[in-house]
Amino acid sequence: MILTHPSRTAARNTTDAFDLYRDMVLYTFKTEIRAGFFVAYYRNFAVPSIAKTLFDRGETTARPMKRSYDTGIVIHEIIVNGFGSERGDRMVELLRRVHKGVPGSAEDFRYVLMTLLVIPLRWIDAHGWRKLTDAERDAAMAFYTELGRRMGLEPAPVTFAAAAAFLDDYESRHLAPSPEGAALLDATAEALSVRLPGPLKDRTRAVIALLMDKPEVVPALGLKPAPRWLKLVFDRLLQVNALLTRARPIAAEPSFTPGKSGRSVYPGGYQLDQIGPHSPE
């Protein structure tokens, strides 16, 4: 049984797994899942083969801010609008198009997909205002299983436990530093620094290191572990945030609005044809 503050409610009642996951992302765990997506984005730089592919394609180093926001916009458009919708299907097709002919094994592509599933859910259980329910975990699994099927990434893990085991095994074999990963981190860290509050702008790399949920990821990114005192402060802030979030009602404002989010890159909003590496600037 999960005990929650009476001012908080679980995700809105629904029998539809995709609706439940949408609610988790937009409302129930919007801060936690955003942090998890951020960690998942950087995880790719810690795998040399994936980092080389990203570096060779050039988008991440040439337009790091746009690349990071576009990545979030694509997955959120699919989550919010759903499979079978015009906007959702356009984003799935975009994913298929930009990955067509990209070097990498089927295992590499499944790994990238599993980072989006496993890492945010682990973040929730570690730092969220409450633990996940089995129904929420199953809902997230259902969404990424369907996304993988539509992208042609079958066979994929069929349970969350299997997905987590796949990710851990893959990382045990592939995490390592690389020149390409370091270059991607350099470009993206600079983009991140503009979004951090003043006192943290000079500690961007330490912030990234603190966010990583596995210690072995930090050297694979070419980073030094954050100082122990800063780690203690960071962990305490996460604990306080979880307590404060538990005491507040779930916000009525969603974490993402199609066509309007991502204002740091698209101040006037965006059209779907602006999203992606081959779109006109």
DSSP letters of 178-210? -HHHHHHHHHHHHHHHTTS-GGGGGGHHHHHHH
Counting the structural domains of the chain, the total is 1
Residue 260 counted as domain residue: no
Token readout for 66 is: 């746009």
Q: H or E stretch including 164?
A: helix 160-174
Residue 270 counted as domain residue: no
Residue 271 counted as domain residue: no
Closest CA to 102 of 66, 137, 152: 152
Residue 176 counted as domain residue: yes
139-158 pLDDT, tens digit each:
999 999 999 999 988 778 88
Q: Which domain holds residue 132?
A: 17-247
Residue 2 counted as domain residue: no
Q: Check residue 11 and give its pLDDT.
A: 36
How many whole angstroms separate alpha carbon 44 and alpha carbon 25? 21
Amino acid letter at 216? E
pLDDT at residue 15 greater than cutoff 70: no
Closest CA to 88 of 75, 71, 100: 75
60-77 pLDDT, tens digit each:
999 998 999 999 999 999
Q: For 278, which DSSP code?
A: T
pLDDT at residue 131 greater than cutoff 70: yes
How many whole angstroms separate alpha carbon 260 and alpha carbon 264? 11
Q: What is the pTM for the complete model shown?
A: 0.89
pLDDT at residue 14 greater than cutoff 70: no
Residue 272 counted as domain residue: no
User: What is the number of other CB atoms lying within 10 angstroms of the CB of residue 235?
Assistant: 13
